[in-house]
Amino acid sequence: MIGELQKQGYLVNKKHIQRIMRKLSLQVTSFTRKSREYSSYKGKVGRVAPNRLRRRFDIQIPHQKITTDTTEFKYYDVDSKGLMIIKKLYLNPFMDLYNSEIISYEVSPTPSAKSKIEALNTPIEITSDPSNFV
């Protein structure tokens, strides 16, 4: 509407037009200000796993508690046209809380369950072998 008035040669102010439209109850809902800021928090979604560690991170037995996390790394790459593009990699390490040793890890371009399971195979093999508990 403002653009059309300016094309016809009128000098208009956006806020003045909005004030007139509001007074005449012609205000479009997409132009009104939101009542609150955006929040991506959606509450508890899905099932929450039980807290079995209960913040007991110091242990004396190897391979008793193994933790994992997924970390996202962003990096720049050059595509075939020579343009810089942002890419992502996801690191899935498995760490033994006994000595903070990384037992295994997997790097993948997507945060999928498949890459997490591939990284989990090594800790399962290590903890199933009794000779590793020396």
pLDDT, position 89: 94
Q: Are residues 80 and 126 in the same domain?
A: yes
Q: Is 45 contained in some domain?
A: no
If asked whether residues 72 and 125 sit together in one domain, one would say yes
The helix or strand, by DSSP H or E, that contains position 100, with its residue range, turns out to be: none
Give the count of domains, the chain. Answer: 2
**DSSP states along 28-92:** -GGGSPPSS------S--SPPPP--STT----SSTTS-EEE--EEEEEEEE-TTS-EEEEEEEEE
Question: Quick check: is 119 in a domain?
Answer: yes
How would residue 35 be classed by pLDDT, with cut points 50, 70 and 90? Answer: low
In a domain, 54, yes or no: no
- pLDDT single digits (tens) 16-27: 888 888 888 876
Is residue 72 in some structural domain? yes
Nearest to 126 by CA among 97, 106, 96: 96
Say whether both 75 and 128 belong to one domain.
yes
Question: Is residue 61 a part of any domain in this protein?
Answer: no
Domain that holds residue 117: 66-132
